[in-house]
Amino acid sequence: MIGPSGSGKSTLGALIAGIDRPTSGSLVVDGTRIDRMKVDRLASWRGQNVGIVFQDFHLLPTLTAAENVELAIELSGSGAGRRLRRSAARSALERVGLGGFARKLPAQMSGGEQQRVGIARAMVTQPPLVVADEPTGALDQANGHAVFEILTGLAETGSTVVFITHDLALAAAADRTVSMIDGRVASVAVRGGA
């Protein structure tokens, strides 16, 4: 999703992820009507179906990288034991190139490293939907492209990735680009014209 600041990209992303609720209309995500779900059911649905990558990381500062990633598994309600959660978290950190960072606290990492921990947290449960809201906005170009490549890899393994960005070069690499203006979808472009 692209569009100027204030166009509604982040709001739409929060709605799709089940973080916010619409004030009118209905909200259907992958065939599931989520706008009518009770708060606890919506939280459960989100934990099982959505990975979220935030622009400002949202890592818990007192938890290590591995513990931040493990938290997503706990919140998914999978019932995975401690050993399985730890193994999955380390594997996710390795996938984003941070295998040696499991015991580091967020304050001991650069912005790009923290963002990759956030991506590991979003993908550790292999959710069908990943919503990434300006995940490259606070990063330099090299780290931004590395983050985009990781998210592209998720899309190639079957997750739907909603990537909210101001970076038109990154948007041009997407399968579908949704342009927003004033809270409305202005256009949809499909790469290859299909």
Q: What is the pLDDT, as a whole number, of residue 140? A: 80
pLDDT of residue 107: 97
Please tell me which residue, 8 or 194, carries the higher pLDDT value.
8
Phi, psi of 109 (to 5 degrees): -125, 155
pLDDT value at residue 167: 83
- The pLDDT of residue 169: 84
Predicted local confidence at residue 193, as pLDDT: 60
pLDDT of residue 194: 52
Question: 140 is written with which tokens?
Answer: 């330099």
| DSSP codes, 21-73 | --SSS--EETTEE-TTS-HHHHHHHHHHHEEEE-TT----TTS-HHHHHHHHH
pLDDT in tens, 140-192: 888 788 888 888 888 888 899 999 998 888 888 889 999 999 999 999 999 87
52 within 8 A of 29, measured Cβ to Cβ: no
pLDDT band at 119 (very low <50, low <70, confident <90, very high): very high
Q: How far does Cα 151 stand from its chain's mean position?
A: 8
* Residue tagged 């919506």 (tokens): 42
Name the pTM for this structure.
Answer: 0.89
For residues 29 and 18, is the Cβ–Cβ distance under 8 A? yes
Q: Which residues contact 155 (CB under 8 A, 6 or more apart)?
A: 161, 175
pLDDT digits (tens, 9 = 90+) for 65-111: 999 999 999 988 888 899 999 999 999 999 999 999 999 999 999 98
Burial of 14 (0-12, 13-18, 19+ CB in 10 A): middle
